[in-house]
Amino acid sequence: MRAQVLHQPDQIDSNPLRLEEIEIPQPGSFDLLVKIVACGVCHTDLHVVEGELPEPHLPVIPGHEIVGSVVAIGEEVTGFQLGMRVGIPWLHETCGKCEFCLRGQENLCPYAHFTGYTTNGGYAEYALIRQDFAVPLPDTISDPHAAPLLCAGIVGYRSIRLSELQPGERIGFYGFGASAHICIQIAQYWGCETFVFTRSEEHQKHAAQLGAKWVGRAEDTPPNQMDRAIIFAPAGWIVPLALKHLRPAGTLCINAIHMSPIPEFPYSLLWQERILRTVANATRRDASELIELAAEIPIRTDISTFDLSEANTTLQRLKKGEITGAAVLVP
**In this predicted model, what pLDDT tens digit does every residue of 257-281 receive, in sequence order?**
999 999 999 999 999 999 999 999 9
Query: Are residues 11 and 94 both part of a single domain?
Result: yes
Tell me, yes or no, whether 190 and 109 share the same domain: no
Does one domain contain both 118 and 182? no
Task: State residue 225's pLDDT score.
Answer: 98
Same domain, 43 and 176: no
State whether 52 and 168 are in the same domain.
no
Give the count of beta carbons closer than 10 Å to the beta carbon of residue 111: 12
The C-alpha atoms of residue 165 and residue 119 are separated, in whole angstroms, by: 34
> Does a structural domain hold residue 287?
no
- Prediction pTM value: 0.95
With respect to residue 32, please indicate whether it lies within any of the assigned structural domains: yes
Q: Which of 67, 61, 2, 62 is nearest to 37 (CA)?
A: 67
d(CA 120, CA 128): 8
Q: What is the pLDDT of residue 9?
A: 97
318, 41 in Cβ contact below 8 A? Answer: yes
- Whether 182 is covered by a domain: the verdict is yes
- Of 40, 124, 47, nearest to 87 by C-alpha is 40
Does residue 204 fall inside a structural domain? Answer: yes
Give residue 262's pLDDT.
97
Q: Which amino acid is at 265?
A: F
pLDDT confidence of residue 111: 97
Does one domain contain both 33 and 60? yes
In a domain, 200, yes or no: yes
Range of the domain at 237: 153-278
Q: Count CA atoms closer than 13 A to 219's CA, side-chain side.
A: 1
Whole-angstrom distance, CA of residue 195 vs CA of residue 213? 6
- Structure confidence at residue 322 (pLDDT): 94
Q: Are residues 131 and 31 in the same domain?
A: yes
Given pLDDT bands bounded at 50, 70 and 90, which one contains residue 18?
very high
* CATH number (domain holding residue 245): 3.40.50.720
Q: Is residue 292 part of a domain?
A: no
Q: Give the three-state DSSP class for 70.
A: strand
Same domain, 129 and 60: yes
Distances (CA, A) of 319 to 207, 257, 306, 322: 19, 15, 16, 8
User: Cis before residue 298, ω within 30 degrees of 0?
Assistant: yes
What CATH code is carried by the domain that includes residue 136?
3.90.180.10
The answer to whether residue 294 is domain-embedded is no
Total domain count, the chain: 2
Say yes or no: 271 and 180 in one domain: yes
Chain segment 211-235, per-residue pLDDT in tens: 999 999 999 999 999 999 999 999 9
On the CB side of 10, CA atoms within 13 Å amount to 12
Residue type, 86: V
For residue 249, what pLDDT is reported?
98
d(CA 234, CA 276): 15
78 and 194 part of one domain: no
Domain presence at residue 312 = yes
The 8 Å CB, 24+ separation contacts for 95-103 are none
The answer to whether the beta carbons of residues 116 and 25 sit under 8 Å apart is: no
CA atoms within 13 A on the CB side of 115: 31
pLDDT in tens, 58-112: 999 999 999 999 999 999 999 999 999 999 999 999 999 999 999 999 999 999 9
Burial, 53: exposed, middle or buried (Cβ in 10 Å; 0-12, 13-18, 19+)? middle
Query: Are 44 and 142 found together in one domain?
Result: yes
Q: How many helices (H) and strands (E) does the chain have?
A: 9, 17
Do 80 and 167 belong to one domain? no
Residue 41, Cα to own-chain centre: how many angstroms? 9
